[in-house]
């Protein structure tokens, strides 16, 4: 991927956010990448994007440090759901499967989210 990105030494968290876009607007990972680059990041900050149709798209390489939360020390995998507060069944099923797959790969992970509607 893009040079200058560092690999995580430890993975402790999954952070789930939304793209804060209208529910029916299925933006692409390329659009998110361009937006993040405009804001000064070295490319897309999320490791995974879940589209409206439930497809899981890979963003930043899963072993690289993504966007940083103030308290995570670069130990977080970032997931973005396309939309804002309402997500469909395809998205929630894809999210649950992805989270389970990541727990299998990395062990027990603490889940954080800005999306109260997910009930996490």
DSSP notation for 16-77: EEE----TT----HHHHHHHHHHTT-SS---SEEE-TT--EEE-S-TTB--S--TTSTT-EE
- Which residue in 32, 18, 31 sits closest to 87, CA to CA? 18
Q: What pLDDT, on a 0 to 100 scale, did the predictor assign at position 31? A: 86
The tens digit of pLDDT for each residue in 26-49 reads: 888 888 888 888 888 778 888 999
Q: What pLDDT, on a 0 to 100 scale, did the predictor assign at position 120? A: 59
Q: What pLDDT, on a 0 to 100 scale, did the predictor assign at position 57? A: 95
Joined tokens for residue 89: 């069944």
Q: What pLDDT, on a 0 to 100 scale, did the predictor assign at position 72? A: 65
Domain boundaries, the chain: 13-115
Point out the residues of the chain with pLDDT beneath 50.
1-3
Q: What pLDDT, on a 0 to 100 scale, did the predictor assign at position 41? A: 76
Homologous superfamily of domain range 13-115 = Peptidoglycan recognition protein-like (3.40.80.10)
Model's pTM, two decimal places? 0.86
């Amino acid at each position: 991927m893009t040079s200058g990105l560092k690999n995580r030494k430890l993975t402790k968290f999954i952070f789930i956010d939304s793209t804060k876009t209208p529910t029916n607007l299925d933006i692409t990972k390329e659009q998110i990448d361009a937006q993040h680059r405009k804001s000064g990041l070295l490319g897309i900050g999320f490791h995974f994007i879940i589209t409206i149709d439930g497809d899981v798209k890979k963003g930043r390489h899963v072993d690289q440090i993504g966007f940083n939360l103030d308290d995570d020390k670069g130990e977080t995998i970032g997931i973005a759901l396309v939309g804002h507060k309402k997500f469909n069944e395809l998205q929630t099923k894809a999210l649950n499967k992805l989270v389970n797959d990541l727990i299998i790969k990395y062990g027990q992970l603490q889940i954080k989210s800005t999306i109260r509607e997910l009930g996490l």
